[in-house]
Amino acid sequence: MDSFSNYKITSYDLYRGSNALERFVNKFEEELAKIQIDLSSPAEIIMEPGDHITFNKAIECYICKKSFIEPAPEILQQFEEAKQQLLECKEWEAHMKKDHSKKKDV
């Protein structure tokens, strides 16, 4: 069986002995151990064209809608202060450009 729901019998073990149930359980546990080994190793992400852009822009889980990272309140405050300082710098630059252009006109 593969992971794309293409079910196909790859092997079988026909047994009709007195300990058939015990043998079935043992085979079942062996198969379970193999499956667990297969699932324990990370699989490669299969992406279509354009999926990398969406993947890199994602900031929340598409299933539960929770943010991947919950920043601490202090960090949020620092970002807010930095944003405010940047806005003030841009306003100052715009003001300086206006003053500079007025001086050229005179």
Question: Which residues 6+ apart lie within 8 Å of 68 measured at CB?
Answer: 58, 59, 60, 61
pTM as predicted: 0.35
pLDDT for position 1: 44
- The pLDDT tens digits of the residues spanning 41-97 come to 887 878 888 888 888 888 888 888 888 877 788 888 998 999 999 999 988 888 888
Domain boundaries, the chain: 20-105
Say whether pLDDT at 2 is over 60: no
pLDDT for position 95: 84
